[in-house]
Amino acid sequence: MDKTIFKPIHTKVNYSDDCIEVIKKDKTAPDENTYLRNTLYDFHNGTIEVDVLSKLTKDAPDYARGFIGIVFRANANDSEFESFYIRPTNGMNCLDPVRKSHGCQYFSYPGYTFAYFREFGIEGYENAVDTIALEKWSHIKAEIHDNKGIFFVDHKKVLEVNGFKHGANARGAIGLYVDIGTDGFFKNLKVTCTD
């Protein structure tokens, strides 16, 4: 991937010939604006696809899950965006049924984090993903149209969101997202804009 089209947002980045490594830095709270911004797109509607692999960092806290995914419709100063990510430790090797039901997550930065949804008992923004695990490549695909998003992992629909928190008309950059304790790897990014 061409590193000149990316801008790290509170992340450390390493580029190789076939993939990009992204690690969160500077921020310690979960669900923050920690991603690698792609500067090519002013994304509103379309599809985003990428292959992802996550490992836990040596200093990962106990609650780290290998959080890795995408950001879309990020505003110019990276203070607002929509996001979808997976939690690989909650996937195919997870024996805890409660954790397993939290294999993927939609959130909207800054106000609608996973903590907000859980604190107020708001459901419908998480789901199980049986194909994911640490140190295993997975394919994420997002189909975005106005106020609706359909999210796929490994070619299986895992989540549908009706009502993005920043609204149907938001547009902006896309990004490669990681969170606490994740050493994230990304390759084969493909973005198709339909408007």
Full set of structural domains in the chain with CATH: 3-193 (2.60.120.560)
Q: Average pLDDT of the chain? A: 95
Q: Are 188 and 49 in contact (CB under 8 A)?
A: yes
The pTM of this model reads: 0.95
DSSP string spanning 14-65? EE-SS-EEEEE-S--SSS-S-EEEEEEEEESSEEEEEEEEEEE-TT--TT--
Q: What's the rounded mean pLDDT across residues 16-26? A: 93
Please report the pLDDT score of residue 122 as a whole number.
Answer: 85
31 pLDDT higher than 80: no
Using the Cα atoms of residue 4, residue 55, residue 90 and residue 158 in order, give the sign of their dihedral: positive
Question: Span 165-171, mean pLDDT?
Answer: 96
Residue 28 confidence (pLDDT) above 80: no
Q: pLDDT digit string (tens) for 131-151?
A: 999 999 999 999 999 999 999
**Residue 145 contacts residue 164 (beta carbons within 8 Å):** no
Could you give the angle at the alpha carbon of 64 between the alpha carbons of 153 and 97, nearest 5°? 60
pLDDT band at residue 92 under the 50/70/90 scheme: very high
